[in-house]
Structure formats: structure tokens, C-alpha cells
Amino acid sequence: MSRKDTVNSLFFNKLGAPNPAAGAEKNPERVRSGAVSAMGASLQEMSENAKVASRLQEQLAAGNVVIELDPDQIVDSSVSDRIAIENDPVFDELVASIAKHGQQVPILVRPASGERQDRYQIAYGRRRLRAVAKLGRKVKAIVRSLTDDELVIAQGKENLDRQDLSFVEKALFAWRLEEAGYQRDIICAALSTEKADLSRYISVARRIPEEIIRAIGPAPRAGRARWLALADRAESAGAKMRKAVADQSFPSLASDERLQKVLASVTEKQAKPRAPQVWKDPRGRKAAQIEQSGKTTRIVFDERIVPDFASYLASRLGELFEEFGGKDR
């Protein structure tokens, strides 16, 4: 049997005996034409579906499509950029907003390495992910193939664009990235900062114990000056810092207030200067001012009122000290 006959037999049942119970004889040409048309339409539909699937795959790979994922499918990145706090009114507002208006901005994820193909690793959008998970909804996400370097750069830049990370969160993020083995040029790109500033970030995170930073929280209003001041005192005042964070009232304070409390605990209190005393000459004129601060005393003479008296007094200091009883002191 020729190939043509074989193909025809698929449509016309030529390989088997004719069915005598069949109805009136059908036109073979009409049957063949209809079958071929149906097969052609099916092949065309399959081809179009393949093209659509291919385009969708390309868009997914390029990160141009927003899909919905179960929050349980998403794992955290290896380096966290945030300090979690127990009472976060901003997060509560985010949950309420998503509950009312839906998730407006998708998160960014990449396929997670490992055996399971349905797992993703988050680059940014952790707060949105937590909020959606709390509401029991699926999270809108962009899936993009990212290298480790690209992931941390995207993670840092998204937060910086939203001006969402505090000084100490940037410091911790920079330090963790360096501890994880990332090069400083990658860390600078992630934080959009210069190397000199990066050194300050890392220095602060290294010198202040991490448990103290976590206890204080992000302190969103505190800039570099206060954290540097705390870092300068951290090595010699660790016990004082731990005592401050262990205070029963500490958890009830706002994060910025916690930082202020810890900083105050390690800052030496300056003695309040006494009000200066005034010495007047026999005519009642203000001839000298006596200033006492801590363990020092300073006498300032007005040479216009008592000219040369300071010199005279200086020349007799030894004699006066003896009269005062200096030998016995």
C-alpha cells in the first residue's frame, strides 16, 4: 500500500471492510475535504497556542508579566534589608490599604534554586508579601531571572527609590552583604552610595552589637550623627546599653525614642555650671568674675577697674597658699 493510500485509509477506513449497515454512500471527496480541513484547523490552532505559550515564556523570562503566586511559594533572600518591629502602624496601614484597594504594586521574585520548580526567592516587596499573606490572598509578582548580584542591587534600589530604609537599616544591609561575600562595588550599587559612606555604614553596624540595634529598631528619624555617636561609645559602654534595653518601659517606646534612651545611657552627663560670682571693689564696681565648673575655677579681672591687680595676686599666690594652710593639705 502506498503512503497516499495509507493516509487515505485513516480518513476513509479503506483498511477494513465496508460497514453494510451504514447509510447511503457518502461522497469520498467531500469526506476527505472535511477531514483534511478539520485536521488543518487543529494543526493551526496548536501552532497558534505554541506561539502564545512561547511569547508568554519570553515575557516571563524578561519579567514583563505580572502573575499571582501563593505566599507559601516564596522564600526570603539570603540577606535581609529590614529590621522587624512588633508594633508597626505603617504596616497596619498597608494591610488596610490592600484589603480595601487590592495590591497595586507587584513584588519582584526570581526562580529559587533547588529541586522544586514552584519556589521563588523574593528580591523586594517583603512588606507587601507579609500584608497579602496576612489577608490570605495570592500575591501579585513579577518573575525575573536574576543573578545574586542583580538580586541584591534590585533589592537595595527599590527601597532607596521609595526612601524606605533608615540609616541603620542601610548600615545592617551593607554589613550583611559584605559578610555574605559581596564585593564593595556591588554593595555601593545596591545602596547607591560612595565607598566613603559605605565604610561608615559598615563601621556602625560592626561596632554596635546587632542585638542592641534590633532592640532599638529602625529609628526612621535618626540620621548618621546619632548612630555614629552610639557606635563611638559602644565598645566601652556595652553593659550600660544592655541595661537600657532591658528596662521594662523600653518596649513601649517608639523606635526613635529607644535610640535616644540608649544614647543617653552611655553619654556622660555634663555637670551643670554654677552661676558666676561677682567680686566688687570698695567703690562697688564689678572688678572680677569667678566661674566654677566641675573641678575647675576661673577668675577674670577687669583691668579697667583694677589694673595690675591680677599680676599682684599672681606674685603672691605662694604666700597666700601658705596662709590658706597649703602645707597641711
C-alpha 256/C-alpha 248 separation (Å) is 17
| Rg (alpha carbons) of the chain, rounded to whole number | 40
Strands 286-293 and 277-280: antiparallel
Tell me which residue of 325, 288, 324, 328 sits closest to 306, measured CA to CA. Answer: 288
Q: What is the DSSP string of 137-204?
A: --EEEEE----HHHHHHHHHHHHHHTT---HHHHHHHHHHHHHTT--HHHHHHHHT--HHHHHHHHHH
The dihedral through the CA atoms of 76, 80, 85, 88 has a sign that is negative
Please report the pLDDT score of residue 158 as a whole number. 72
Residues 6+ apart with CB under 8 A from 310: 301, 303
3-state secondary structure of 281: coil
Contact 315, 329 (CB under 8 A): no
Residues 6+ apart with CB under 8 A from 215: 245, 250, 258
Helices (H), 63-137: 89-101, 126-134
Backbone angles phi, psi at 55, to 5 degrees: -65, -40
Angle ∠(291,292,296) on CA atoms, nearest 5: 120
Contact 48, 24 (CB under 8 A): no
Is residue 252 classed exposed, middle or buried when 0-12, 13-18 and 19+ CB atoms within 10 A define those classes? Answer: exposed
C-alpha cell at 254: 517608639
Distances (CA, A) of 113 to 1, 121, 145, 181, 230: 54, 8, 11, 19, 40
Q: Give the fold, CATH level 3, of 66-265.
A: 3.90.1530
| pLDDT by 10s per residue, the chain, length 329 | 544 454 444 334 444 444 544 444 555 555 555 555 666 566 666 666 666 556 555 655 555 678 999 999 999 887 877 776 666 677 888 899 999 999 998 999 999 876 567 889 999 888 899 999 999 999 999 999 899 999 988 888 776 655 568 899 999 999 999 999 999 999 999 888 899 999 999 999 999 999 999 999 999 889 899 999 999 999 888 899 999 999 999 988 999 999 999 999 998 765 566 788 998 988 889 989 998 877 888 999 999 998 998 899 899 888 888 888 765 65
3-state secondary structure of 124: strand
Please report the pLDDT score of residue 34 as a whole number. 57
Please report the pLDDT score of residue 299 as a whole number. 92
C-alpha cell at 143: 518573575
C-alpha cell at 112: 529559587
Contact 155, 81 (CB under 8 A): yes
Contact 286, 280 (CB under 8 A): yes
- List, edge to edge, every strand of the sheet that includes 120-124: 66-69, 139-143, 107-111, 120-124, 74-75
Q: What is the DSSP letter of 328?
A: G
Please report the pLDDT score of residue 133 as a whole number. 95
C-alpha 149/C-alpha 105 separation (Å) is 23
Contact 245, 215 (CB under 8 A): yes
Angle ∠(148,151,154) on CA atoms, nearest 5: 150
Does the pTM exceed 0.75?
A: no
Q: Which residues pair with 260 in a beta bridge?
A: none
Backbone angles phi, psi at 290, to 5 degrees: -110, 120
